[in-house]
Amino acid sequence: MSERKPYPSDLTNEQWSLIEPVLTAWKGRHRSVSGHQGVYSMREIVNAILYQGRTGCQWAYIPHDLPPKSATYYYFAAWRDDGTDRVVHELLRCQVRERARRLEDPTLVVLDTQSVHAAAGVPASTTGRDPAKRVPGRKRALAVDVLGLVIAVIVLAANTHDNAAGIALLDHVVENTGGSVRKALVDQGFKKQVTTHGGLVGIDVETVERNPHQAGFVPQPKRWRVEQTYGILILHRRLVRDYEHRPASAASRIYWAMTQVMARRLTGTNTPTWRHPKAVTA
């Protein structure tokens, strides 16, 4: 890594060692015809992706001491398209679960959706308006385990019904876990079609109903984990809105955000806050 003052989002040596073998192997398989290895290290490319994800800056505003947009976007797009971002994510997810003394793949997942506003430059063809939440933009659908780790991600237009999102999520869960999942918890936004599809793929879908006598937000046992995960993701400012032109890029942003979260968990590193710890409120 070049000599520069580190950013709070930078990978530490210990964190980089977790994912370095995957990216070094990838680089070895993607040599240029001339044999040129590129100007920028893989670690600095990842640092640039994580910096942008954490701060939410535009591509042109990536700091000059990090790799420029041209190099950073090249690798971001390449890793998005060939699944390397998910390979890195899955590697850390399995390690976090093993550290918690759990099997690599879960037997239970929690499904939920979140509609977010899309930025002005996002193509209208990939967005819509969520009629229930009155949000114009995109819908993120997550499947998480009981530790809050992401098992599957789907990004759709916000006007997509939760049934379609749930069915697609279940298919991705089966694909990503090798059929280990036996049960999925959902809220009342998911209807009978999701339950029926779950039966077809070997997953028992259980609707967790809210107590009508409870006012406001009340965490539901196990289901609250997916709400917690959405809250953690929003700490990454690139995810406060959907700025990505392609839904696949939006999904990749979630994988990279969770990769950063898990790398910190595995190395015992606290996530830096945006407020000075000694700041005093007047």
Fold of 103-242: Nucleotidyltransferase; domain 5 (3.30.420)
Kindly list the domain boundaries of the chain, sorted by start residue: 103-242
* Interstrand relation of 135-144 and 108-117 (parallel, antiparallel or unpaired): antiparallel
Q: How is residue 77 written in tokens?
A: 């797009």
pTM of this structure? 0.90
> Would you give per-residue pLDDT tens digits along the chain (282 residues)?
448 899 999 999 999 999 999 999 999 998 776 555 668 999 999 999 999 999 999 999 999 999 999 999 999 999 999 999 999 999 999 999 999 999 999 999 999 999 999 999 999 999 999 998 899 999 999 999 999 999 999 999 999 999 999 999 999 999 999 999 999 999 988 889 999 999 999 999 999 876 665 565 555 667 889 999 999 999 999 999 999 999 999 999 999 999 999 999 999 987 555 555 554 333
Using the structure block, give the residue that is written with the tokens 């609250």: 224
The pair of structure tokens assigned to 99 is 């550290």
Q: What is the β-pairing status of strands 183-186 and 204-207?
A: parallel
pLDDT single digits (tens) 86-129: 999 999 999 999 999 999 999 999 999 999 999 999 999 999 99
